[in-house]
Amino acid sequence: MKRFDTRKAIAAVVLMVLMVGTVAASAGCGSQADANGGPVKLTEADNGKTIEVKAGEDVQVVLNGNPTTGYAWTVTAGDAAVLVQQGDPVYAQGNTDPSIVGAGGTFTFTFKAAKAGQTTLKFDYARSFEKDVPPIQTVSMTVTVK
């Protein structure tokens, strides 16, 4: 029987992480449209970047959060003539075990690239009931619609 070699397993995982990071860096941003024509997906890794999309494409911004703490992501800047928000953000719990109370997840905002132009989307992570308290995190990305 073969013995499990922990060092080789760790080396394989490190190599995979480096390969994925290299592919993402060479792509120009952390996320891209999928090969089947799905939405362009952006994350916190795209903070501060400029992303180019085509008119008519959907853009999804997926941000980690935990509403059980009272915090939620909100859009605080963006030109609705260039990117039109499609409904309210959708929250999905990250852990599939519903018995784990208070587990975090993701907020997904969906936008439609309406017309050519450029806008900066800005998101704040804050408690809505704390009016004079700055957000604990902000994320922004510039989107150019061609």
pLDDT in tens, 113-132: 999 999 999 999 999 999 99
Angle in degrees, CA 31, 86, 124, rounded to 5: 65
Domain 32-145 part of CATH 1.10.645.10: no
Residue tagged 């490190």 (tokens): 14
Terminal CA-CA length for the chain = 59
Q: Where are the domains of the chain?
A: 32-145
Report the candidate in 13, 12, 41 with the shortest Cα–Cα distance to residue 27.
41
Whole-model pTM above 0.75? Answer: no
> Cβ distance 78 to 97 under 8 Å?
no
Q: Using alpha carbons only, what angle is made at residue 18 by residues 14 and 21, rounded to the nearest 5 degrees?
A: 140
- Tens of pLDDT, residue by residue over 41-69, are 999 999 999 999 999 999 999 999 999 99
